[in-house]
Amino acid sequence: MRKVFVATWLIALCVMLCGLFWYNEYRYNLPTPIPIHYKRIANGRYIKLDKGLQFNNNKPTFLHFFNPDCPCSRFNIRHFKEIVEQYGNRANFAIIVISHQPFDATAIQRKFELNIPVIHNPALAVLCGVYSTPQAVIINSEGRLFYRGNYNRSRYCTDTQTAYARQAIDDLLNKRANSITDFLATTAYGCQLSE
């Protein structure tokens, strides 16, 4: 009788753990709900950057919207660092921290080994049409929005076939029109920003 009870308990525990894993996997594969007052920002719109993001070097600017409390943002940081390493001499990069928790910009730079500006500016998220993290925003050298969207289709940034942010920066730097037509590129996935 005791063996049956232990076996039943172990099976129930395994079923609960598998169910929890499945639920989290399912939840993170759903798009981030669009906020009620969200206003879509069209590509080509002029985006006025604040003083901390004015580089004055005629290069495009790549903004990485990041929330240290968001698991998706933490999974994504290695992919973002690869983009910075690949395109760092041809574009300006900055991390825009979107969090209600206090943060230390220098600590973020040290932790991720990135020597780029780290600022907190929730108004910039609204201005660029960002409502979840992680998100990439690419602004051309004239200050116009070229791309806002996902890094790729996978929340772990492992799907090389849909490297949307990398494709967008590559298109811009090679003077091509934005070639990304997949609706998944601009359907936000990740952690919703609080209003």
**pLDDT tens per residue, range 47-94:** 998 888 888 889 999 999 999 888 888 888 888 999 999 998 999 999
What is the helix (H) or strand (E) element at residue 84, kind and residue range?
A: helix 71-87
Please state the domain extents for the chain.
Answer: 1-30, 51-192
pLDDT at 158: 62
End-to-end CA distance of the chain: 55
Q: How far is CA 31 from CA 34, 190, 191, 192, in A?
A: 9, 7, 10, 10
Residue 18: CB atoms within 10 A of its CB come to: 10
Which residue matches tokens 């790549």?
Answer: 62
pLDDT at 28: 62
Question: Block means of pLDDT (10 residues each) for the chain, length 195 residues?
Answer: 82 82 68 83 91 87 92 86 94 92 87 92 91 93 94 70 90 91 83 75
Architecture label for domain 51-192: 3-Layer(aba) Sandwich (3.40)
Q: What is the CA angle 99-66-132, rounded to 5?
A: 80
Q: 157 is written with which tokens?
A: 């940034």
Looking at the DSSP bridge assignments, the partners of residue 148 are 137
pLDDT at 24: 66
Which residue matches tokens 């906020």?
Answer: 35
pLDDT at 1: 77
pLDDT at 25: 65
